[in-house]
A and B are shown apart, each in its own frame.
Chain A
Amino acid sequence: MKAARPPRWYADPARLGLAALAVSAAAFFLLPLYVMAITSLKPMEEIRLGHLFSWPTQLTLDAWHAAWISACTGVACDGVRGGFWNSVSIVLPSTLIAITLGALNGYALAYWRARGAALLFGLLMIGAFIPVQVLMFPLVRMLGPLHLVGSLAGIVLVHVIFSMPIMTLIFRNHFAALPRELFLAARLDGAGFLRIFVLLMLPLSVPMLVVAAIMQATGVWNDYILGLVFAGREHLPMTVQLNNLVNTTTGTKLYNVDMAATLLTSLVPLAIYVISGRWFVRGIAAGAVRG
């Protein structure tokens, strides 16, 4: 007797329920984004009418232009573009240095059993869970005399320091999961610490490097408090400028400019999420499951 073909998936009520849940959850999270987007495209007169969800009758990019070029962020009135470039110049070195050092640390911890490696790893584990705020004041006191507070080098250093536990952790687990015989074979072949790292370990870690770069870059871009405390007036990141812009009220509150500036600020992490969604999911899994 021939067995009956199982029903197709769309006929399954459980699947339909799941789809409905997914759609409503997406709507719940997309609704604020929708409101922000359309508000940023409306002129102020239309916003004053108070129809929060209605499609703009006349679309204009004036608010976006103002947010980028001329909106007041405190005393200065030249938009958030300065903050954008500040953030870029903070994110790039912080990410490059942090993943390089993290990979190197993780590699050393996983393969070169130095004396006290276990203790160091334990301390790093604890370090990964200490809230940033606890360490802020001591760090200011430490870096102040070194003239590192209020400089680009200072904020980059602080970001690198705070990311070191998690970066080391990620890479140590990654390297510990590689077959150890690869490392032993390279040792027997006569390769040393750096040759093995550069020619063997790094090429085998490209997915992990991408994931770490995504995590670090979004983390640093979204940072507010460290930028506020350590970056100094010359290098305020975009998030701090955004806050200043939204809180600077001279005359009427320009909701469309606020919304445009907020969207501009979140554009970079958003782009990272969208472009590298697949990698990002893998990164979350690596952080959550391994370890």
Chain B
Amino acid sequence: MAAVSVRNLRVALGGQPVIEALDLEVADGEFLVLLGPSGCGKSTLLNAMAGLLEVSGGSIEIDGVDQTWASPRDRNIGMVFQSYALYPNMSVANNLSFGLRARGMPRAQVEERVQRAAALLQLEPLLARKPAQLSGGQRQRVAIGRALVRDARVFLLDEPLSNLDANLRASLRRELKLLHQRLGATMIYVTHDQVEALTLASRIAVLHKGRIQQLGTPAEVYARPANRFVAGFMGSPPMNFLEGTLTMNGGVPHFTAPGCEFELRDCDFGAAAPMAGEAVVLGVRPEQLRIAAPAAWSGVVTLVEPMGNHQVVWLECGGASWSVLAGSDARHQRGERLPLALATGSICLFRADDGTLRGVTA
């Protein structure tokens, strides 16, 4: 039984459709990440699941019960808001217990639940403080605690780490993953950060323009992106693209672009056999390239970004801007022409017209 299942969901805001015909099944205990750029409708989808927004069509089931029109308080959902939304006039303890008291839980039980959540999140020394007296990371913990105390089966988290600095973000990310392993609850986690998505998710749903572009494990989404949008959104620096055509050379498909031609070995084209002259876009991840001969391509260095343990070298390659990873001790000058060889991994081909995946090499 799915913990959450969304069918044919439509949401309109201010007369504008934001989510159109969206289907999503989240398994019990799963950590599903909704990944997408800002403004793609992630918060809208989450708010619709929580019942904070009226949907204009479709259905939402939680724990097997149709909750499409249920009030938010009856959905047994814990939610962490992007801005935390801690009640500024209440102490941390009261922030945690507000929802329990609102449901008329006996005082002793409220006390016990608050203590348990506080212990789990190391909030005990902070219980008497007001939110204004907390650091960003502590506020985040309180927000998670507030969702936790109600023992909800499903947690919705809306970019919970986006307001924190990089170090804190990384450490809270790990805490969150441990928490999920400990609780075994279903978590639906919204983010625009692909690193968070890759590290946390059991499955990732990539959202763009109110539609799910791809739903799969982090490895699948990374290695076999369903279309150019997903390919470009996942990975940092993003995938390199080059426009060209398919050619057949001795019965073997080749990718051809001005100044470069190479063989697509063991390429899986799916049902439709490759045809000479098909317009395609080649996609190669930066880490799949090496600066070495024999060169499959070459490019002129435009920029070098040192990253500490490695460098990102940006090149001008047949009219496109490409990036390639180099060791931290490599010395490359602007204007230098470098040979590029294919190192490892599969190369993607996308249809030039609609950007969907055409084939992947082995």
Q: Give A residues with C-beta under 8 Å from B.
A: 179, 181-182, 184-192, 195, 199-200, 203-204
A185 contacts which of B79, B103, B150 (Cβ < 8 Å)?
B79
**Which residues from chain A contact B297 at a C-beta distance below 8 Å?**
none
Residue among A182, A190, A203 making CB contact with B85, cutoff 8 Å? A182
**Shortest Cβ distance from residue B110 to the other chain A in the assembled complex, whole angstroms:** 13
B contact residues vs A (CB 8 Å cutoff): 47, 50-52, 72-73, 77, 79, 81-83, 85, 87-90, 98-99, 102-103, 146, 150
Is A190 touching B103 in the complex (CB atoms < 8 A)? yes
Q: Is the CB of A179 within 8 A of B83?
A: yes
CB nearest neighbor in B for A181: B85
Residues in B with CB closer than 8 Å to A195 are: 102
C-alpha spacing A32/B146, complex, angstroms:
60
- Assess the B73–A188 pair: CB atoms within 8 A: yes
* A186, B52: Cβ atoms closer than 8 Å: no
Count of inter-chain pairs, beta carbons less than 8 A: 58
Find the residue from A179, A186, A187, A190 having the highest chain B CB count within 10 A.
Answer: A190
Question: A191–B50 Cα gap in the complex (Å)?
Answer: 14
Residues of B within 8 A of A199 (CB): 90, 98
Q: Bound state CA distance, A130 and B87, in angstroms?
A: 38
Q: Are B88 and A204 in contact (CB under 8 A)?
A: yes
A-B contact pairs, 13 of them (CB 8 A): A179-B85, A181-B82, A182-B85, A182-B87, A184-B47, A186-B102, A187-B72, A188-B72, A189-B102, A189-B146, A189-B150, A191-B98, A195-B102
Query: Given A203-B89, A204-B89, does the pair A185, B102 have CB atoms closer than 8 Å?
Result: no
Partner of A190, one of B47, B89, B99: B99
In the complex the two chains form, what is the Cα distance from A186 to B83 in whole Å? 14
Residues of B within 8 A of A184 (CB): 47, 50, 52, 72, 81, 85
The 5 closest A-B pairs by CB, nearest first: A189-B99, A190-B73, A181-B85, A203-B89, A185-B85
- Chain A residues near B82: list those with CB within 8 A: 181
Chain A residues positioned under 8 Å from B79 (CB to CB) = 185, 188
**How far is it, in angstroms, between the C-alpha of A203 and the C-alpha of B88 when the chains are bound?**
9
Asked if B83 and A181 sit within 8 Å, CB to CB, the answer is yes
* A189, B89: Cβ atoms closer than 8 Å: no
The minimal Cβ–Cβ distance linking B12 to chain A, given in whole angstroms, is 14
Q: How far is the CA of A192 from the CA of B52 in the complex (A)?
A: 13
Q: How far is the CA of A181 from the CA of B50 in the complex (A)?
A: 13
